[in-house]
Structure 1
């Protein structure tokens, strides 16, 4: 399928790329990962081969959220937004961008987001889970705290989505939970385990009730949340937890119908996607790759183009949902909505179909990327 849009696709500032890549990859793989994170312009050939029309770029995790010093975190956000803004300006039909913000100060975050959207044209904001704070990095700032209402209000006024992305844990959490099982700390399990708590904290704190226009996006087929919706809603007992601030007549499933979306980033499992569709419908799901943490664009694209769902559903998940949510039909991106199945050559990519859904295992083994 041509015309796909992908939206969990990382970059890093060239001065940081190779060193920071060592947090997520083996020694040998870190060099290649760093180069891939730093090289934005070189992605277009891969995009053409994989049928990707446009990718939304985001500063790689942890980005500003990993900076414990508020001034350094804000400086990184400004630098990153200016840098990626120039990249998008040079090629707006192939790239868009998420803003980066420091979340130490909610008012400052709102102001930088406004600048990034209004002046630089960013189509949303990427938050890499909690904001590290404190001298030892063990203070974690979460955005369900009422002090962040000024940030959520600005998000609603700007009408741009917030993408919630995982990150590595604080030093204390790592020492207590992962030090003796470090293979579980990142994408294998820890990322989803930690981020899902933050996402559910935002929902149950009433953010969507106070700011109903806020749209939250998260990847990896929903960080486990869609597969536990029944139990979540069954166990959020209002009598037992009267202090829970979400509306008394709402469930987490309700918010998936109005405020929350997921992507396929880094989760190329046919069975899992079909289950997510059954829980959420195709209208709340968007295709993504998780480049360059997944090795290239072809594996995920070939998998997606061969998923056994209807052609209209492929079109919705692969293109139209993201086009509409991020308003990519507007200048300067001007992505054309409503193209026909024939124009987009739906079903065009051919490749191996893995009935055991083991492609991700093979990729991780090959590259050493966490």
Structure 2
């Protein structure tokens, strides 16, 4: 399928890329990862080969959320947003961007997000799970606390989605859970384990009830949540948890119909995708890859392009849902909704049906 849009695709500032890549890769792999994170223009050839029309770029995890110093975190957000806005302006038909914000102060986060959206053209915001805080960086700030309502109010007013992404755990969590289980600390299990609690905290704290237009996106086929919906809703018993701030007549499944979306980033399983479609519908799922943490664009693209899905589901997940949610049909991106199966080369269709389709259409129109 041509024309795909991918949403969880990381970059890093050139001054940080090489060193920070060492947190996520072996000594041998860190150099290549750092180079891939810093190289934005060089992605276009691989995008063309994989049938990807647009990447929505985001500052790599943990980004601003890893800065325990509030001033440092905010400076990084401003620098990152200014940098990526220039890259997008240079090629708006292939790239868009999520804003980065420091979440030490909700009002400051709201103000920087507003600047990034209104002045710089960002199409949403990426939050890398909790905000590190405190003198030793071990405190964790979560956005389901009522003090963040000013941030959620700005998100709703701006009408842009919030993508929440995992990060490495705090020092205390690492010591308690992962010191003797290091293989589970990151993408194998820990990322989804930690982030799913934050996502569910946002839902059960009533954020979607107070700000019903807020749209939350999360990757890796939903961080385990779609596959546990029945049990979640069965066990969130209002008699057991009378202080839960979530609306009394709502379930987590309800919020998937109104406020939550998932992507396929880094999770290329056909059975999992089919299960997610059955649980939350194809209208709440978007294709993504998780580049460059997944090695290249072809593995994920080849999997998706050949997945046994209906043509409407391929269209929705591969392109139309993201185009609509992130308003990519507007300036400066001007992507076209509703392209034909021939234009997107879906179902084995490629090029015009007739040798000169334009001539045929003109003739047919004249009657």
Q: 1:306 to 1:199 in 2, by over 3 A?
A: same
Report SS of the residue matched to 1:15. Answer: helix
| CA positional deviation for 1:138 | 1.2
CA–CA distance in 1 between the matches of 2:237 and 2:181? 33
Partners in 1 of 2:25 and 2:278 — Cα distance? Answer: 34
Q: Secondary structure of 2:6's partner?
A: strand
Q: Distance in 1 between matches of 2:52 and 2:347?
A: 14
The match for 1:202 is 202
User: Deviation of residue 347 (structure 1)?
Assistant: 4.1
Structure showing greater Rg: 2
SS of the aligned residue for 1:7 comes to strand
> How far 1:67 moved relative to its partner?
0.1
Secondary structure in 1 matching 2:343: coil
CA distance in 1, matches of 2:296, 2:346: 20
Normalising by the residue count of structure 1, what TM-score does the alignment of the two structures yield? 0.94
CA distance in 2, matches of 1:32, 1:262: 28
Match of 1:216 in 2: 216
Q: Once the 2 structures are TM-superposed, how far is the Cα of residue 137 of structure 1 from its aligned partner?
A: 1.3
**Post-superposition CA distance 1:234-263 (Å, at most 9, x none):** 000101111100000000000000000000
* 1:346 CA drift (Å): 1.3
Task: Confirm or deny: 8 A CA contact 1:305 1:348 kept in the other structure.
Answer: no
* CA displacement, residues 202-257 of structure 1 (integer Å, 9 cap, x when unaligned): 00000000000000000000000000000000000101111100000000000000
For 1:14, the equivalent position in structure 2 comes to 14
Distance in structure 1 (CA, Å) of the matches to 2:347 and 2:122? 31
Q: Report the alpha carbon displacement of residue 49 of structure 1 after superposing the two structures with TM.
A: 0.2
Structure 1 runs not aligned, ≥5 long: 350-370
Runs of 4 or more consecutive aligned structure 1 residues displaced over 2 Å after TM superposition: none
Higher relative contact order (CA 8 A, sep 6+): 1
Residue 278 of structure 1 corresponds to 278
Q: In structure 2, what is the Cα distance between the partners aligned to 1:347 and 1:131?
A: 44
Correspondences of 1:1-370 after superposition (within 5 Å):
1-347=1-347
SS in 1 for 2:132: strand
Aligned-residue Cα RMSD (Å) equals 1.0
Contact 1:306–1:347 (CA<8 Å) still a contact in 2? Answer: no
Q: Normalising to structure 2: TM-score of the pair?
A: 0.95
Unaligned stretches of 5+ in structure 2? 350-367
Cα distance in 1 for residues equivalent to 2:143 and 2:243: 17
Measured against aligned partners, the alpha-carbon deviations of 1:99-144 in whole angstroms (never above 9, x if no partner) come to 0000000000000000000000000000000000011111100000
On the 8 A contact 1:305/1:347 being kept in 2, the answer is no
Partner of 2:356: none
Equivalent pair of 1:64/1:73 in contact (CA under 8 Å): yes
Residue pair 1:2, 1:348 contacting (<8 A) in 2 also: no
